[in-house]
Structure 1
Amino acid sequence: MTNALIAERDRFSAQYPEQRIDLNGRDWGYLDIGAGPVLFLIPGTLGRGDIFWQQINALKGRLRIIAPSYPATGGVAQWCEDIIALMDHLSIDTASILGSSLGGYLAQFIAGKYPQRMDRLIAANTLHATAGIDQRPPYSSDLEAGPIEELRAGFGRGLEGWRAAHPEQSDLVDLLLMEVGGRILEPELRRRLAAIKNGPELPPLGLPSQKVFTIDAADDPLIPPEMRDAVRARLTPCTAYRYLSGGHFPYIARPDTYTALLEQVMGLEVTGPDWGAEAERFL
């Protein structure tokens, strides 16, 4: 049986292949699609830049979207400098930056170091600190030399557990299993995990609340309630988008609502579901 999500993603990737660039000695991939105000979409551990294909397709006529894919070296502090170098290379003075999960931690770091380069911070399904995370699997494993099969199997067990609880999201699980199973290359996967395990403390934010937005989901299995609360407390966003369901990947599980959210944040005409106008918005 055809997996509709994988088929859609593969069509998108064939139409928009990843470009490669050396940034401070690190080999990055990236997509540069569309025209208009600039929005960076930075993925988490289990995604290349094209993991946001549904939002890119919906918004490319109104926004210029840059979606990077992490290199096999470096970490959060180095990647912050690389993203700024990418902006310089692409002649982008300022941009709105959405980061999901690992990408959300990186986006917060950029907001602290280079607030003058950021129009908006959108911190999605992410964390506020990495202290103690090295005690939790898979971060407690030997990420440099441990068998890659064990790391991938750990992700597989978690994803299969999500499938059992949410059989309607089976296509999403298969897509993510493809990512962790090899579409994200072994050294890149190890580095993504190590970037969180060894993540630096976040610098003070440097942005006013009216430029800050958060996204979380009540059923996110990776970001517990106390961490969601801590992210909002740290960032004091002008708007907190709260998914009642959507898991850790609402941009795939509920793409129409995610696109509508981005339309609202970016000041575009909203074509999808109405999130409302409150400081905390629920769908």
Structure 2
Amino acid sequence: MGTRDLIAERDNFAALHPETRHLVNGRDWGVIRAGQRGPALVLIPGTLGRADIFWQQIAVLTKEARILAVSYPASGGISDWAADLAQMIADAEMQGATVLGSSLGGYLAQYLTATEPALCSGLVAANTLASVRGIDQVPPYALDLATTPIHDLRAGFEAGLSTWQTPDHPYRDLAPLLLQEVRGRIPEDELRARLQALKTAPELPPQSLPRDRIFTVQSDDDHLISPPMREGLRAALDPVRAYRFRAASHFPYVTRPDAYTGLLREALDLPAGQTIWPAGEESLI
């Protein structure tokens, strides 16, 4: 990635696009709205991101798309959150939105588009999984997420990210950004809710979107989504286009922002930008 101060970049964006609070069905969501015209795009982060984790995509696409990016509330689960998002999409008059979700957000995005086809016209399932079977057997999901001290939950994330902080690690610039999220930028109740939501998630219903509106994003070096999980997602969704990074980590919207924005342009049917993905059902860079 080179030497970048990602926290400063993100904070500069957040100063211009602060997260506002939005109460839906009794749950308090964080929301960033951007753009006044063009196709509608909903952005749902993973466990270690707020709405502004997509700052690089929002900054570029804000003149060409209407964007709704969210931060999770401190209560509820997958089905609750899908209902909340459906309400937000309708309230914002963003019917026909393309929904991108990454990791936890990718599971939620699949549930949302499967259950709300009248509101959603496209799915981008990114660095995510198609089933949560067995997830309650692996840490941190194997823990009692309601009673385990928050220090212990955060320490698990910190231990994994500590190996990224060596000078020769390809994602060393990303570690401080994620550690800031872990250490309190995502409050305790919100972090617990995110973990609990995936642990207790329902199985996904069949997709109701047409195949030509379903896309996947995966990274060959994703340390959280194993090769069998990646294969399972592709098999379950049978996407019209499978975007694949040789090297981008679990967070390619941060590590490969131009290419990530490029795939969003394709999913939104916007003119191509600087990064052109190779043609074909599987597109690899």
Task: Place the TM-score, normalised by the shorter chain, in its bin.
Answer: over 0.9
Q: More displaced, 225-234 or 88-97? A: 88-97
Counterpart check, 1:153 vs 2:124: no
Gap runs ≥5 in structure 1: none
C-alpha distance in 1 between matches for 2:170 and 2:227:
24
Partner residue of 1:96 out of 98, 110, 116: 98
Secondary structure of 1:40's match? strand
- Cα offset, 1:269, TM superposition: 1.7
C-alpha distance in 1 between matches for 2:164 and 2:24:
36
Pairs aligned (count): 282
Counterpart check, 1:29 vs 2:30: yes
RMSD (Å) for aligned C-alpha atoms: 1.3
C-alpha distance in 2 between matches for 1:174 and 1:275:
30
Contact 1:100 1:126 in 2 (8 A): yes
Partner residue of 2:210 out of 203, 208, 211: 208
Secondary structure of 2:95's match? coil
Question: Residue 16 of structure 1 aligns with which residue?
Answer: 17
Question: Residue 224 of structure 1 aligns with which residue?
Answer: 226
Counterpart check, 1:51 vs 2:44: no
- Cα offset, 1:261, TM superposition: 1.2
Contact 1:130 1:199 in 2 (8 A): yes
C-alpha distance in 1 between matches for 2:90 and 2:167:
44
Contact 2:146 2:192 in 1 (8 A): yes
Question: Residue 6 of structure 1 aligns with which residue?
Answer: 7
Question: Residue 82 of structure 1 aligns with which residue?
Answer: 84
* CA distance 1:116–1:228, change in 2 (3 Å): same
Question: Residue 252 of structure 1 aligns with which residue?
Answer: 254
Gap runs ≥5 in structure 2: none
The one-letter code of the counterpart of 1:27 is D
TM-score, normalised by the number of residues in structure 1: 0.97
Stretches of 4+ moved more than 3 A in 1?
A: 162-166
C-alpha distance in 2 between matches for 1:223 and 1:14:
32
Question: Residue 188 of structure 1 aligns with which residue?
Answer: 190
The one-letter code of the counterpart of 2:253 is Y
Contact 2:219 2:244 in 1 (8 A): yes
Contact 1:259 1:272 in 2 (8 A): no
C-alpha distance in 1 between matches for 2:206 and 2:143:
30
- Cα offset, 1:179, TM superposition: 0.4
* CA distance 1:62–1:134, change in 2 (3 Å): same
* CA distance 1:238–1:103, change in 2 (3 Å): same
C-alpha distance in 2 between matches for 1:167 and 1:224:
20
Per-residue CA distance 1:251-275 (angstroms, 9 max, x = gap): 0011111111111221112222221
Contact 1:41 1:49 in 2 (8 A): yes
C-alpha distance in 2 between matches for 1:199 and 1:150:
23
Partner residue of 1:136 out of 127, 138, 157: 138
* CA distance 1:191–1:166, change in 2 (3 Å): farther
Secondary structure of 1:51's match? helix
Contact 1:70 1:188 in 2 (8 A): yes
Q: More displaced, 261-270 or 160-169? A: 160-169
C-alpha distance in 1 between matches for 2:121 and 2:28:
26
Secondary structure of 1:161's match? helix
Contact 1:41 1:99 in 2 (8 A): yes
Contact 1:96 1:121 in 2 (8 A): yes
More helix by share: 1
C-alpha distance in 1 between matches for 2:41 and 2:176:
28
C-alpha distance in 2 between matches for 1:51 and 1:261:
17
Secondary structure of 2:113's match? helix
The one-letter code of the counterpart of 1:50 is D
- Cα offset, 1:140, TM superposition: 0.9
